[in-house]
A and B are shown apart, each in its own frame.
Chain A
């Protein structure tokens, strides 16, 4: 093997990589947050909703979880624009990632909501809490605490999966890599660097989720034990 590694392009192109990574962070933080809201609402619909609502939420989850993200992104970006709804690549990316994250969050949060015992709901009833109050104060936070590790790893998986949005030319980290490698012909080196950046990002996201968990769940902060 006579291949010589050459990382010289980095001196000139590193701002591109930083910009790409920054867009990856923006896209995914937004999608994770929005996806969490969508997923939580759908999870509540799946557990407490009427039969029709339950069905609709169930169909959404199955449709998304059994088709590839790449195709979902294509449908949102190319499909919607051919129907007359023109969205920019970034908006399409966030929309597709949110829909995807929402479906997975629904399944995760459903497990959490179902784990709340009936007696808790009855106790809330006895205290005269309204349905909304019960859900906000009695159901959601403990449910989330129970499934928090799964939520966190789903968040990291979504961050990694956001690399797929490079295929609709959202200029995030992977798209930046594709661009730089086509300018410099240093494809192997470029993708090694990007792989390292993604590894660092996954570590950062795990750290972030851990910190959010500590801030959110008093019990974990005080006792250090999961619920």
Chain B
């Protein structure tokens, strides 16, 4: 049995880079897909609203773990090489887009109706209304809950370990397999996750408080 050493800890910290990489992929992918989902949810067309609603219900009603397995094995069926990073990237994009879409829908709806009416009176078309009037205001409302959701993303990237992507959680398992000191190792892993997540949690709370400064 190998003694637990400082190098193991270093290995965990190195692996945390892949947790961060995967989180960034998830967030960027989720944002790119999530914004259209949010816009579809508030669209005038019942078909678009229905599609976006169905998508969100589907993703929010199945565990992320199952989404991961589906995209991992689904890619295999389509004849692609089973690359865990690709499968994980797709799954997390699908997952984050559903949640961000729903969060941002709330933010778009929170912009007062009078803003729509005023921009109507100014003769702006729908694109201009969104680009210059609604979305900039919705963005301000959206920042605190979005930062809060980033904590969920970072934590959930740990699930990518089950399809063999070596990030922080998987690195913990690997070190554990050779040293068998699970309590110390997984506590260390938890601490690293905490270091990544806690600043985001605090930021979300502070932003939230600042956003509500005038009220309550």
In the assembled complex, B161 has its CB within 8 A of some CB on chain A: yes
Question: Which residues of A are found within 8 Å of B156, using beta-carbon distances?
Answer: 68
* Per-residue interface assignment for chain A, residues 177 to 205, with 1 indicating a CB less than 8 Å from any chain B CB and 0 otherwise: 10001000001100110110011001100
Q: Chain B at the A interface: mostly helix, strand, loop or mixed?
A: helix
Question: Which residues of A are found within 8 Å of B69, using beta-carbon distances?
Answer: 177, 187, 191
From B137-145, B192-200, B207-215, the one touching the partner chain is B192-200
* Distance between Cα atoms of A177 and B69 in the complex (Å): 10
Residues B159 and A199 in contact, CB atoms below 8 Å apart = no
Question: Which residues of B are found within 8 Å of A166, using beta-carbon distances?
Answer: 65
Question: Which residues of B are found within 8 Å of A177, using beta-carbon distances?
Answer: 66, 69
Residues A199 and B61 in contact, CB atoms below 8 Å apart = yes
Given known A-B contacts A65-B201, A75-B186, A195 and B169 have beta carbons under 8 A apart: no
* Distance between Cα atoms of A68 and B151 in the complex (Å): 10
Given known A-B contacts A71-B172, A198-B63, A164 and B70 have beta carbons under 8 A apart: no
Residues A68 and B169 in contact, CB atoms below 8 Å apart = yes
Residue of A65, A74, A81, A167 with highest tally of chain B CB at under 10 A = A74
> Closest residue of chain A to B201, judged by CB?
A66
From B35-43, B71-79, B123-131, the one touching the partner chain is B71-79
* Per-residue interface assignment for chain A, residues 74 to 100, with 1 indicating a CB less than 8 Å from any chain B CB and 0 otherwise: 110011111100000000000000000
Question: Which residues of A are found within 8 Å of B155, using beta-carbon distances?
Answer: 66-69
> How far in angstroms is the closest Cβ of chain A from B199?
9
Residues A72 and B159 in contact, CB atoms below 8 Å apart = no
> Closest residue of chain B to A83, judged by CB?
B183
Can you report 6 A-B residue pairs in the complex whose CB atoms are below 8 A from each other? A1-B78, A71-B189, A78-B183, A188-B74, A191-B66, A198-B66
Which of A's residues lie within 8 Å of B, judged by CB? 1, 3, 62-63, 65-72, 74-75, 78-83, 160-164, 166-167, 174, 177, 181, 187-188, 191-192, 194-195, 198-199, 202-203
Given contacts A3-B78, A174-B66, A177-B66, 14 further A-B contacts (CB under 8 A): A62-B198, A62-B201, A63-B194, A65-B201, A67-B155, A68-B159, A68-B169, A72-B190, A74-B173, A75-B183, A161-B63, A167-B162, A187-B73, A191-B69
